[in-house]
């Protein structure tokens, strides 16, 4: 593929993932623009008509966000700041954000009301994927779950790092301390993204960054896009820093018990030592992170800026909403004994 773009000094990303085919007008417009070096071409009003939870919008948004991470093989790095792509991204973000706020219009607006339910084990365990995988999950389901989660875990915790420059004092120091652990505490082999690559290898999956984008359905893409939305929204990036903290806190609060169940699932199914280790590592680490994020990141941020409480609550509530939508999608597919992926990876 030839380099794109008018600049003779521009470079093309060699290590990025490959572009995938579009799933509708908007994602095809983004794909074609990235391939050709030209602007995205789509009909007026297409964004507002798009399903804010659908395949087309979320693949388009994912492709645009990925330009701020590793980019794509053969796509000019300068497209990250292309004005036409940024305008489309902002329109997609606004449409998605409006849908989230509409859906959560009755959600609690305080940190306590939002987080207290997450600290209590639910009575009905049937809805949780980690509960299901712990007790009755099959190896092929663990592989699907890992393939789905790889779109985040192979970039963990990059999306949350966007918030660091937007914090100060206690909140900033505590956030950096947690991220330091997530990035391996100075050891490349301990970076959580690399530990997940080892998990994928144990499960017979391809650990290449972005490998399972083609297989990822909209409910999964939405969970990853949410992090990038909160971290990168061009017009409201500072206003959404509280929401990104809320998202991060929600992940850390729920991670330790979920990881304990998934470690047991990996062990029960004989997935391999690296597969079990990834989740076992998160049991202890995230139990500590939960305390730090609640008592230092959130408390520190609210001490400095109490007006951000509703944003923190919104970030948590949006995370729960999208995780529930993903769990429903996966559970319904597995109940019908079919794949939760758009296409089944080799070795099912």
Return the SS3 of 24: coil
Quick one: fold of 111-335?
Heme Oxygenase; Chain A (1.20.910)
Can you spell out the DSSP letters for 62-100? HHHHHTTTT--TTSBGGGGG-HHHHHHHHHHHHHHHHHH
User: Quick check: 288 and 240 in contact, CB under 8 A?
Assistant: no
> Does this model's pTM top 0.85?
yes
Give 261-266's long-range contacts (Cβ < 8 A, gap of 24+).
261/130, 261/131, 261/133, 261/134, 262/130, 262/133, 262/134, 264/134, 265/130, 265/133, 265/134, 265/137, 265/142, 266/142, 266/199
Task: Give residue-wise pLDDT tens across range 190-243.
Answer: 999 999 999 999 999 999 999 999 999 999 999 999 999 999 875 544 679 999
User: pLDDT tens per residue, the chain (348 residues)?
Assistant: 222 333 333 344 346 899 999 999 999 999 999 999 999 999 999 999 999 999 999 999 999 999 999 999 999 999 999 999 999 999 999 999 999 999 999 999 999 999 988 887 653 444 589 999 999 999 999 999 999 999 999 999 999 999 999 999 999 999 999 999 999 999 999 999 999 999 999 999 999 999 999 999 999 999 999 999 999 875 544 679 999 999 999 999 999 899 999 999 999 999 999 999 999 999 988 888 999 999 999 999 999 999 999 999 999 999 999 999 999 999 999 999 999 999 876 544
| Domain boundaries defined on the chain | 25-103, 111-335
Task: Give residue-wise pLDDT tens across range 22-64.
Answer: 999 999 999 999 999 999 999 999 999 999 999 999 999 999 9
**Which helix (H) or strand (E) covers residue 48, if one does?**
helix 46-49
Percent of the chain whose predicted confidence (pLDDT) is above 70:
91
Nearby residues of 43 by Cβ (< 8 Å), 6 or more positions away: 25
């Amino acid at each position: 593929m030839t380099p794109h773009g008018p600049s003779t000094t521009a470079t093309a990303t060699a290590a990025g993932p490959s572009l995938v085919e579009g799933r509708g007008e908007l994602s095809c417009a983004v794909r074609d623009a990235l391939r050709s070096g030209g602007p995205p071409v789509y009909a007026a009003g297409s964004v507002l008509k798009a399903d804010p939870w659908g395949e087309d919008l979320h693949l388009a948004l994912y492709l645009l966000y990925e330009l701020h991470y590793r980019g794509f093989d053969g796509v000019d790095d300068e497209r990250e700041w292309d004005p036409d792509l940024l305008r489309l991204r902002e329109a997609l973000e606004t449409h998605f954000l409006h849908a989230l706020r509409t859906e959560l219009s009755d959600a609690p607006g305080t940190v306590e009301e939002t987080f207290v339910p997450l600290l209590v084990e639910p009575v009905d365990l049937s809805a949780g994927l980690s509960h299901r995988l712990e007790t009755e999950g099959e190896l092929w389901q663990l592989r699907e779950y890992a393939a789905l989660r790889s779109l985040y875990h192979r970039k963990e915790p990059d999306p949350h790092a966007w918030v660091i420059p937007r914090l100060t004092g206690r909140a900033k120091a505590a956030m950096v301390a947690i991220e330091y652990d997530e990035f391996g505490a100075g050891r490349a082999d301990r970076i959580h993204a690399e530990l997940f690559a080892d998990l994928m290898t144990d499960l017979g999956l391809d650990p290449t960054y972005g490998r399972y984008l083609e297989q990822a359905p909209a409910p999964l893409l939405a969970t990853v896009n949410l992090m990038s939305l909160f971290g990168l929204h061009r017009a409201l990036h500072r206003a959404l820093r509280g929401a990104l903290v809320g998202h991060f806190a929600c992940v850390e609060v729920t991670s330790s018990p979920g990881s304990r169940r998934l470690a047991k699932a990996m062990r029960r199914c004989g997935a391999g030592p690296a597969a079990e280790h990834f989740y076992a590592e998160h049991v202890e680490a995230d139990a500590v992170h939960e305390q730090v994020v609640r008592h230092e990141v959130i408390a520190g941020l609210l001490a400095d800026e109490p007006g951000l409480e509703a944003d923190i609550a919104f970030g948590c509530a949006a995370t729960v909403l999208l995780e529930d939508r993903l769990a429903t999608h996966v559970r319904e597919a597995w109940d019908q004994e079919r794949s939760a992926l758009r296409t089944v990876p080799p070795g099912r």
